[in-house]
Amino acid sequence: MSSEHAADASTTSKPVLETHDLTKRFGELVANDDVNLRVNDGELRAIIGPNGAGKTTLFNMITGALDATEGRVTLDGKDLTALPEEARPHEGIARSFQSNQMFEDETVLENVRVVVQTAQAGSFSLDLWGNGRDLGVTTADEFIELVGLGPIRDTVAKNLSHGDQRRLGMAMALATDPEVLLLDEPTSGMSPAETAETADLIEEIKQEYDLTVVLIEHDMDVVLSISDRITVLNRGSILATGSPEEIQNDQDVQDAYLGGVKEEI
Ligand SMILES: Nc1ncnc2c1ncn2[C@@H]1O[C@H](COP(=O)(O)OP(=O)(O)OP(=O)(O)O)[C@@H](O)[C@H]1O
Ligand SMILES: [Mg+2]
């Protein structure tokens, strides 16, 4: 796992993805409460926090999977709040595809190629398996190689291991040509070796495609090694944002979340 994380030269102070007083209520439950997130161009931002803190709900509002109860989401200053989920990839927001969003009876190559062609055409209406079929293959292969699935590009998605499905999900997200990539616990269920590989892969794709990455992650080794900055969410609110060092030394964060684990990290 690479150790040169902070003060990445590609990180600027230009905000790309911002949330403004973003709030989500499920009945009485306030899952996100006035969240003001500001992620800069080229940054790798981790979002951490206890189970139920509201991390996935925040992603869901950023991608449009859930409507915000209040507040706004902007990308490069453009208000996306009212845009439906399917329109947001065209604006530059992508989240890693889940296995249930794949064509499970199609190969790795076909899954990525369909996303490439859809992104290029801006719609699903074109003949994806017909005459235009070969057009996206070269581009798709590039993403497939990058995530390490080259040798099994012709394997059907449902026969992939859990870790390889996650890699495929990442290749499909990259194929939408995003500006901001959202990853929700990309290492969950992975072995320590796969986890380290995935952390390296995230850094690699960020560099290769000049991405801004927002990463929800429970593995503190991953978080501390690859993040430029970390935001701690607790009970739906931002408790702190800072460098890995600042977050490790923050007393509020210690009390609310890291607790006794500091000695281990
Ligand atoms: N669709 C929903 N309807 C009702 N309550 C929900 C819904 N989605 C999330 N919640 C609740 O909102 C709160 C925040 O959930 P969320 O999934 O965002 O947490 P999280 O930080 O991602 O947790 P984890 O680390 O376990 O993934 C939780 O109390 C959860 O039960
Ligand atoms: Mg979650």
Return the best residue to mutate from 32, 57, 239 for the ligand 1 pocket (most ligand atoms within 8 A of CB).
57
Going by their DSSP bridges, the two strands 44-48 and 229-234 should be labelled as parallel
Predicted TM-score of the model (pTM): 0.89
Per-residue pLDDT of 203-243, as tens digits, reads: 999 999 999 999 999 999 999 999 999 999 999 999 999 99
Ligand at shortest distance from the CA of 69: 1
Rounded to an integer, the average pLDDT of 34-46 is: 98
Give percent of the chain above pLDDT 90: 77
Strand 70-75 versus strand 38-40 pairing type: unpaired
Element (H, E) at 22: strand 15-26
Distance (Å) from CA 217 to ligand 2 centroid: 9
H helices of the chain, in order, are 55-63, 88-91, 108-121, 137-146, 162-174, 192-208, 220-226, 244-248, 251-253
The DSSP bridge pattern shows strands 212-216 and 180-184 to be parallel
At residue 219, the 3 state secondary structure works out as coil
Residues near ligand 1 (Cβ within 6 A): 26, 29, 31, 49, 51-57
Q: How confident is the model at residue 4 (pLDDT cuts 50, 70, 90)?
A: very low
Ligand 1 centre distance from Cα of residue 52 (Å):
5
Confidence of residue 7 (pLDDT cuts 50, 70, 90): very low
In this predicted structure, what is the pLDDT of residue 5?
40
Give the distance (Å) from ligand 2 centre to CA of residue 265.
22
CA–CA gap between residue 89 and residue 105 (Å, rounded): 24
Of ligand 1's atoms, which has the minimum distance to the CA of residue 58?
18
Provide the pLDDT for residue 1: 38
> What average pLDDT does the structure give for the chain?
89
> How far apart are alpha carbons 73 and 34 in whole angstroms?
12
Q: How far apart are CA 87 and CA 215, in angstroms?
A: 22
For the CA of 58, the nearest ligand: 1
Tokens in use for 55? 């991390």
* Band of residue 256 on the pLDDT scale cut at 50, 70, 90: confident
What tokens does 162 get? 């859990």
Please list all protein residues whose beta carbon sits less than 5 angstroms from ligand 2, which is an ion: 55-56
CA 190 centroid distance within chain: 17
Q: What is the pLDDT of residues 15-38, one digit of tens each?
A: 999 999 999 999 999 999 999 999
Return the domain boundaries, the chain: 1-92+180-185+193-265, 97-177
Q: What is the pLDDT of residues 140-180, one digit of tens each?
A: 999 999 999 999 999 999 999 988 999 999 999 999 999 99
pLDDT digits (tens, 9 = 90+) for 113-145: 999 988 877 544 555 556 566 668 999 999 999
Domain 1-92+180-185+193-265, CATH among 3.20.20.210, 3.40.50.2300, 3.40.50.970, 3.40.50.300? 3.40.50.300
pLDDT value of residue 122: 55
